[in-house]
Structure 1
């Protein structure tokens, strides 16, 4: 991620491995310069390989912005649009990856080639097995602790029933606990313990316009609706586009269950770029890692954006892993910082009274 005073490294190993079949001549780039790159990430290797006709799809807004800053074309393929080459960086979550394989085939031209790259520690073996199950035999190679696998599938070899089944895996679904979500979102099939702890400490006197930063599928927002009757408007901010529809469904259900009419808006937005308006209160379970790497700068960027967007008497309530060093920044921005809870390795902090 970039923009908010910090940066997240692209998966350079996976990108480098993805380029190897082309660098060694095992595969060739299309002569017409057209390709689709699903879950694309910016990086030196991509800038060297990509051609002007490539379309890069990325649902996470900060990563999409990185691609655009590299002068790459970013967007979604039109329904029925096909390409002679489809590249992808499948995610670790298996249902999400299977849905991505199915979509990749939707946009693969007859005689075209699909190429995927995954780190071995991130499920490469399972990913290759799944693609083989879907399209038949695949080629492969290992490099940079990653596995690259590809196929130029014959139409008769593709399991179309399985493709339909896997394509549906990415649709918003209701979890066992009754939340709308989809595979691959943070804590997609459960209520995150940290978020539950924060919600349990929402003050009943929260009032006015409130924002939830990094809203995910909307759990915290539903708890604000249920627990805080003096809220007059609610905005959810989330950078992952795939989370927006589940969040809308969950807050709609929460309003119905509470018997409330409340202006609620769900925004696809990178919080680290700042917020467009002022708030009486802000709540957040800020992300602090990308992949498996801790990135406390991300949480600090959320705190900075929140402090910048609060009215003078506003309140910030956050939850974080107990080891994360947020207190110094909070003390620099707020005169009153209190720890409301310390439980199961998490801390809930309330900050009030903005410093001039």
Structure 2
């Protein structure tokens, strides 16, 4: 299944981000070195980017897209400074504030931190936050987005706020004793759909199991607690920021269960298939990106699960009741059963993988 177009770049915010250069409000750095946090690939970026640009992106499909376009992807060194730091802030405010703090930290003295956000995604709050942190900002509006920037001035920076906001991205304990961090899926709670799936995990699941789109690892922890015959578990997650919390949660789950098993966390795009074979696969697959429903994402997860299951294997997934997965499941499995429906969700078990 082709996923082309599913992860399309936010064209309006990206286009708006470069308007200050097109209108000569800002000039690109003479040394050609630019840091782009939460970078996204598009035609305009390819036109502007130079070899000295460094693009940071923790979501693997976006990172791979940047690489395919010939852009350099990685993380800056702790003490690395840039005359220009570009930012596409997320909607989640703690996560965005931490990103503004990192951007300012990596800006050289006199350097510029430049951000663009859609008006409907918290642009006004984002501009206010950057001003609180860095001092006076300039701004313009374009493409239903707000573009705003600040110059790094040591005297204007709120140093205490900088330290506080840098810490906002650190993994932290949430309800239930799990470790998570802002911006992950259902980051500050146990997702009710995942909890429903956990309640219906068959106790006789055994052998090697995969959790697709694992997030901070809730379902994997429930597998360890509820299914004593599992002896290996692989977590697959495309968001790199989830990997550290997931590993911490897995270690705790094994301690609490009083047993050790082969448990591994992989930074991986599930839509591209899985590298191993499994006796069972569990998933609360993503079905949207931003605010758009994208059921093809869930169907891609189902395809990858079916391809990775051994002939006797089982797929257990939870989804919103309105999502039309049954037809696709029927194409890949002999038997498809609904185990539960509750609060707008459905838990489905699929067995008998079709070749």
CA-CA distance at 1:48 after TM superposition: 2.3
Q: TM-score, normalised by structure 1?
A: 0.98
How far apart are the structure 2 equivalents of 1:169 and 1:203? 37
CA-CA distance at 1:3 after TM superposition: 6.3
Q: Describe how 1:37-56 pairs up with structure 2 within 5 A.
A: 37-56=36-55
1:279-332: CA deviations, max 9, x gaps? 000000000110000111111111100000000110000001111111111111
1:87-111: CA deviations, max 9, x gaps? 0001111110110011111111111
Residues 5/283 of structure 1: CA separation in 2 closer, same or farther (3 Å cut): farther
SS in 1 for 2:177: coil
Compute the RMSD of aligned alpha carbons. Answer: 1.1
Q: Does 1:175 align with 2:174?
A: yes
Match of 2:138 in 1: 139
Q: Does 1:189 align with 2:203?
A: no
Match of 2:286 in 1: 287
SS in 2 for 1:256: helix
How far apart are the structure 2 equivalents of 1:179 and 1:18? 37
Residues 209/191 of structure 1: CA separation in 2 closer, same or farther (3 Å cut): same
How far apart are the structure 2 equivalents of 1:7 and 1:176? 32
Q: Describe how 1:1-356 pairs up with structure 2 within 5 A.
A: 4=3, 7-356=6-355
Cα pair 1:3 1:273 within 8 Å, conserved: no
CA-CA distance at 1:137 after TM superposition: 0.5
Cα pair 2:273 2:304 within 8 Å, conserved: yes
Cα pair 1:6 1:297 within 8 Å, conserved: no
How far apart are the structure 2 equivalents of 1:129 and 1:23? 24
Cα pair 2:6 2:294 within 8 Å, conserved: no
SS in 2 for 1:167: helix
CA-CA distance at 1:176 after TM superposition: 3.5
How far apart are the structure 2 equivalents of 1:6 and 1:300? 15
Number of aligned positions between the proteins: 355
How far apart are the structure 1 equivalents of 2:263 and 2:4? 29
How far apart are the structure 2 equivalents of 1:135 and 1:213? 40
**Long gaps (5+) in structure 2:** none
How far apart are the structure 2 equivalents of 1:270 and 1:327? 23
CA-CA distance at 1:152 after TM superposition: 1.0
Residues 12/51 of structure 1: CA separation in 2 closer, same or farther (3 Å cut): same
Cα pair 2:112 2:150 within 8 Å, conserved: yes
4+ runs deviating over 3 angstroms:
2-6
SS in 2 for 1:155: coil
Cα pair 2:175 2:190 within 8 Å, conserved: no
CA-CA distance at 1:251 after TM superposition: 1.0
